C-alpha cells in the first residue's frame, strides 16, 4: 500500500513538473509521455524485484535528486519535512529557541545564542555541549546538525528541555526553554565608523530587508545630521528574495530606474523590475562592500549601484550567481525550486559565472571564459563586464589565511579558548576598546600546548611524499639523516608560527571573545577600526575628488 502511494505521488510530481513543458513545448509531449512510462515501470520493477528490500520513498528521492543534479545546484526538490527551512530562507522566521548549533568530534555544541531570544533568556551559552533534548540522548555517531535543529524547532509557546554540559561546571545542567517565533534580522548591526561615515551590515534578503535598511539610515541621519557617507556591507550575503533586492536598491536610486531584468524561456519569466518607490537618499556618497561570498540578491543590488553610477564597489569579485528560482507547488505538500530565468543588471549584463549547460570531463560546470566576457557601459560610460560576478571599483586583497590559523579554527581551539575565558571573566570592555593583551595571548599559547595542538602543512605533506619516493628508490639509508633534519626544522618553524602570526590569531580570538558578551553586533562593531575594506571605503567616501573620478568615465 505504501509503495503504491509513493509511486502515485511520484507520478503526480513528475506529471505536474511536465505540464509546463506540455503546455509550452507541445512537440515534446511524446518524449515526455514515453519516458514517464519507462520511469514508472522501472521504478515498480526495482521496488518489487530487487534482492534487498528497498525504501520506496528513499529510492524515489534518489532518482529525483539525480535528475535535478544534471541541471544546476539551485534547482531542487523540497520534501514536506524541508518546508520549514525554505520558509525560513524566504521570511527569516521560524519557531524555535534562537540558537545556532554545531558539531565537532561527534559532539554537539551551542555556537551562538541569539540576543534576547529564548535560548539567551534561559541562560544557554556558546560552548555548552548538548547531551539530551527532551530526555532523548544526542547521538553524535548517528545524528547530524540538521537532525538536532529539527528537534529544537517547534511551535511557538511549546517547551523543549535541554541537558547540557558547561565548561567550569561539575554537573550537567537542565534548561527548560519556551519556544518563540524567531526572526533573524537582515541588518544585524549599524552604526558610525567615525564622526562622518555610517555603516550598515546587510546579511540577508528575507522579508522586510529593505525596511530594516531604511530604518538604519533614518537612525543614523537623526543621530548624525552631518552624515557625509554610507557603507553598505554585503560581504558574505548569499542573497534571498529578488523583490527585497529591488527595494534595497530603490532606497538609493530614483524612481522608475531599472534595477534588474529577468529573462527566461517562458514569457512570464521575462520581466523588468523598476524602482517603484520614492528613494530615501540619491545623493549621499555610497560604498558597497562585496566579496566572493556575496551572491544573487547581493549582486542585484551591487550591480544596480555600479551600473547606475550611484556608488563605488569595494572588496573582491562577487560570487557570480545570475540565476532566478521560483517555487512551484507539487502534490503531497512538496515543492519544486526551479531555475526559471537569468537576471540582468541595468546595463544589460548577466553576471552568471558558471555555465551549467556545459560540463567538463568530471561533470563540473564550466566557468565563462575571459575571452567570452562582453563589455557593457554604465550610465556615465564606464566599462563593465558580464560573465563573472560584480568586479569591485576598488579591489582589496584578502590577507593570506595561513595553515596554522585555519587549523586553529578547524580544530575549535579559538572557540574553546573563548569558552574557557568566559568562565573566569564576568565582563569585558566595549567592543571597540577590548584588546587581546600579551598576557591573554600567552594564556592561549599554554592552552594550545595543553591540547597538544598539531597540524600538517603543505611542506609536511610534500616531505612525506618525498620519504615514500626515497624509500621506493632505495635511497633511504643514504638520506635518512638529511630527511630527519628537514623534518625537525619544519617542526621548529611550525612552533614559531604561533608567534609569527600573533596579530592574525589575536584578531580571531578577539572576535570570538567579544561575541560571547556582545553577540554578533559586537563583533561587527569591533571590526570597524581594523577592517581593510572598511578603511578603503572610508577613504574614498571622505575624498570627494576620488569618489567623483571613479564614478565617471575614465
- Look up 495 and say whether it is catalytic: no
Catalytic, out of 76, 210, 294, 296: 296
HSE at residue 311, side-chain half, CA atoms within 13 A, is: 29
Q: Is 212 left (phi over 0), alpha (psi -120 to 50) or beta?
A: alpha
- Look up 307 and say whether it is catalytic: yes
- Look up 296 and say whether it is catalytic: yes
**Among the listed residues 239, 235, 204, the one whose alpha carbon sits nearest the alpha carbon of residue 321:** 239
Integer CA distances (angstroms), 508 to 103, 212, 337, 527, in order: 20, 28, 37, 11
Catalytic, out of 307, 386, 416, 497: 307
Could you write out the DSSP letters of every residue in 279-305?
Answer: -S-SSS-EEEEE-TT--THHHHHHHHH
Q: Is 75 left (phi over 0), alpha (psi -120 to 50) or beta?
A: beta
- 286-290 and 312-315 as β-strands: parallel, antiparallel, unpaired? parallel
Q: How far is 11 from 134, CA to CA, in rounded Å?
A: 38
**Among the listed residues 150, 81, 93, 153, the one whose alpha carbon sits nearest the alpha carbon of residue 334:** 81
Q: How far is 480 from 253, CA to CA, in rounded Å?
A: 69
Cell of 392: 569591485
Q: Which residues pair with 287 in a beta bridge?
A: 231, 312
Q: Which residues contact 537 (CB under 8 A, 6 or more apart)?
A: 197, 231, 287, 289, 312, 314, 394
Catalytic, out of 321, 494, 510, 515: 321
Query: Alpha-carbon Rg of the chain, whole angstroms?
Result: 27
56: how many CB neighbours lie within 10 A of its CB? 19
Dihedral pair phi/psi, residue 334, rounded to 5°: -110, 165
Residues labelled catalytic: 296, 307, 321
Amino acid at each position: 500500500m505504501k509503495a503504491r502511494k509513493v509511486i502515485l505521488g511520484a507520478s503526480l510530481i513528475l506529471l505536474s513538473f511536465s505540464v509546463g513543458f506540455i503546455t509550452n513545448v507541445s512537440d515534446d509531449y511524446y518524449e515526455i509521455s514515453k519516458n514517464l512510462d519507462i520511469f514508472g515501470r522501472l521504478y515498480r520493477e526495482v521496488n518489487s524485484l530487487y534482492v534487498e528490500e528497498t525504501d520506496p520513498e528513499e529510492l524515489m528521492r534518489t532518482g529525483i535528486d539525480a535528475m535535478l543534479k544534471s541541471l544546476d545546484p539551485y534547482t531542487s526538490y523540497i520534501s514536506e519535512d524541508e518546508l520549514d527551512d525554505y520558509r525560513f530562507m524566504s521570511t527569516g522566521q521560524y519557531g524555535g529557541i534562537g540558537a545556532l548549533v554545531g558539531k565537532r568530534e561527534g559532539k554537539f555544541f551551542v555556537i551562538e545564542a541569539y540576543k534576547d531570544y529564548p535560548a539567551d533568556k534561559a541562560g544557554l551559552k556558546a560552548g555548552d555541549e548538548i547531551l539530551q533534548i527532551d530526555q532523548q540522548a544526542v547521538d553524535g555517531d548517528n545524528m547530524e546538525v540538521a537532525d538536532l535543529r529539527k528537534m529544537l524547532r517547534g511551535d511557538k509557546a511549546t517547551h523543549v528541555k535541554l541537558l547540557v554540559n558547561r565548561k567550569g561546571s561539575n554537573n550537567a545542567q537542565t534548561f527548560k526553554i519556551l519556544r518563540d517565533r524567531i526572526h533573524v534580522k537582515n541588518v544585524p548591526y549599524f552604526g558610525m565608523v567615525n564622526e562622518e561615515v555610517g555603516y550598515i551590515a546587510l546579511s540577508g534578503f528575507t522579508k522586510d530587508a529593505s525596511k530594516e535598511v531604511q530604518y538604519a539610515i533614518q537612525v543614523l541621519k537623526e543621530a548624525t545630521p552631518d552624515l557625509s557617507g554610507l557603507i553598505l556591507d554585503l560581504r558574505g550575503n548569499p542573497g534571498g528574495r529578488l523583490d527585497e533586492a529591488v527595494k534595497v536598491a530603490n532606497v538609493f536610486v530614483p524612481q522608475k530606474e531599472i534595477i534588474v531584468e529577468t529573462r527566461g524561456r517562458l514569457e512570464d519569466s521575462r520581466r523588468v523590475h523598476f524602482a517603484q518607490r520614492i528613494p530615501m537618499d540619491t545623493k549621499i556618497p555610497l560604498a558597497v562592500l562585496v566579496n566572493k561570498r556575496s551572491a544573487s540578491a547581493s549582486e542585484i543590488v551591487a550591480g544596480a549601484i555600479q551600473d547606475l553610477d550611484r556608488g563605488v564597489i569595494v572588496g573582491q569579485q562577487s560570487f557570480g550567481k545570475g540565476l532566478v528560482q521560483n517555487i512551484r507547488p507539487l502534490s503531497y505538500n512538496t515543492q519544486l525550486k526551479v531555475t526559471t530565468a537569468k537576471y540582468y543588471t541595468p546595463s544589460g549584463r548577466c553576471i552568471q559565472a558558471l555555465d551549467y549547460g556545459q560540463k567538463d570531463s568530471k561533470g563540473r560546470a564550466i566557468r565563462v571564459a575571459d575571452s567570452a566576457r562582453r563589455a557593457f557601459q554604465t550610465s556615465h560610460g564606464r566599462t563593465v563586464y558580464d560573465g563573472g560576478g560584480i568586479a569591485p571599483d576598488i579591489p582589496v586583497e584578502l590577507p593570506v589565511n595561513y595553515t596554522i590559523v585555519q587549523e586553529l579554527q578547524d580544530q575549535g581551539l579559538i572557540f574553546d579558548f573563548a569558552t574557557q575565558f568566559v568562565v573566569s571573566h564576568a565582563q569585558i570592555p566595549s567592543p571597540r576598546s577590548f584588546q587581546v593583551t600579551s598576557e591573554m595571548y600567552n594564556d592561549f599559547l599554554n592552552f594550545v600546548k595543553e591540547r597538544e595542538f598539531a597540524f600538517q602543512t603543505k611542506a609536511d605533506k610534500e616531505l612525506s611524499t618525498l620519504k615514500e619516493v626515497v624509500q621506493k628508490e632505495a635511497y633511504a639509508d643514504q638520506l635518512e639523516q638529511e630527511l630527519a633534519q628537514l623534518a625537525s626544522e619544519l617542526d621548529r618553524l611550525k612552533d614559531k608560527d604561533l608567534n609569527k602570526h600573533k596579530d592574525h590569531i589575536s584578531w580571531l580570538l578577539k572576535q570570538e571573545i567579544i561575541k560571547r558578551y556582545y553577540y554578533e553586533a559586537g563583533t561587527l562593531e569591533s571590526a570597524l577600526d581594523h577592517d581593510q575594506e572598511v578603511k578603503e571605503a572610508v577613504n574614498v567616501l571622505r575624498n570627494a575628488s576620488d569618489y567623483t573620478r571613479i564614478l565617471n568615465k575614465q
